[in-house]
Copies of this chain bind each other. A is one copy, B any other.
């Protein structure tokens, strides 16, 4: 159906390999005249190389997998700030003439299957639990460049791109302490899921220690990264810890739920309680008051992921194993001084 190399070769009166060389820009082997003639025919006939044939013959697919956890039969849930990374990833890869395959993973073995079946050159692991990444063996991923986002894995097979989670938490907590808060709660999902939360917790704890504020484990709550869980947490917080005047949360959506919950419990933000979010999601500015939050460098994350992957594909000697991007505190309306007493 489609036009093939053979057709072009026949029309140009050269061998198939000459056309292949021209199409792939292998300068050395063809004269300028031949090259131009072939290129003209390629354009005219609308030749488009077959990716499967290339992948099969060249053992490289120029395909990168975007692997996302898919719990059971449920669909992928890509959170809003991840979506932006996906869009940027796609653009970077497209510039380099790579393609992106989106794949939900529900069993560990599916990672290997996806990599092998499609002969992927690389893959980006988005939102996986660290232990999933640690379980990957050289047998699984031989040859493919794996980049894990926001993980803190011990697996040398995976390149890693993340934000400075420890530093972000320091920034947020330091801001609250600077405002005069002493009873500062920490709310985020379980540590086990990802090292990210633990790093943020450690940053929080370090700043408390720096300022001689006693760490109170009761002020640390395990709250899922959802509006509903944030809401529930906000409702019970004033009852359980009336002395808390500020909360550092690990996600904007959680913070927004929290603020609504606090309001339901009769506490205003930032009048009674200050709240700091994390991620600087779009919606941070849609709520009232606008959310004070820690911003990640999303474009940087996508760019670094691609850079790391390309370095490894190029067989760079000692490519960076992990990159940590800077974060910034965005001061808006949800953090202020504690109430007078």
Contacts and interface: CB of A to CB of B under 8 A. Distances in A.
A104 B112 contact: no
Copies of this chain assembled into the complex: 2
A286 B288 contact: no
Interface string A203-220: 000000000000000000
B48 A143 contact: no
Contact of A52 (B52, B76, B143): B52
B78 A87 contact: yes
Nearest to A114: B99
Contacts of A52: 51-53, 55-56, 61, 118-119
Contacts of A157: none
A307 interface: no
Contact of A118 (B51, B113, B257): B51
A321 interface: no
A288 B70 CA distance: 32
A286 B287 contact: yes
Contacts of A78: 83, 86-87
A312 interface: no
A102 B102 contact: yes
A308 interface: no
Interface in A89-143: 90-91, 94, 99-104, 112-113, 116-119, 142-143
Interface in A38-68: 46, 48-53, 55-56, 61, 66
27 contacts: A2-B116, A46-B112, A48-B117, A50-B117, A51-B118, A51-B119, A53-B56, A56-B56, A74-B91, A75-B302, A76-B91, A78-B86, A78-B87, A86-B102, A91-B104, A94-B103, A94-B104, A99-B103, A100-B101, A101-B101, A227-B286, A253-B286, A256-B286, A257-B286, A260-B288, A286-B287, A287-B287
Q: Across chains A and B, which 4 residue pairs bring their CB atoms closest together, nearest first?
A: A52-B55, A76-B87, A75-B91, A52-B52
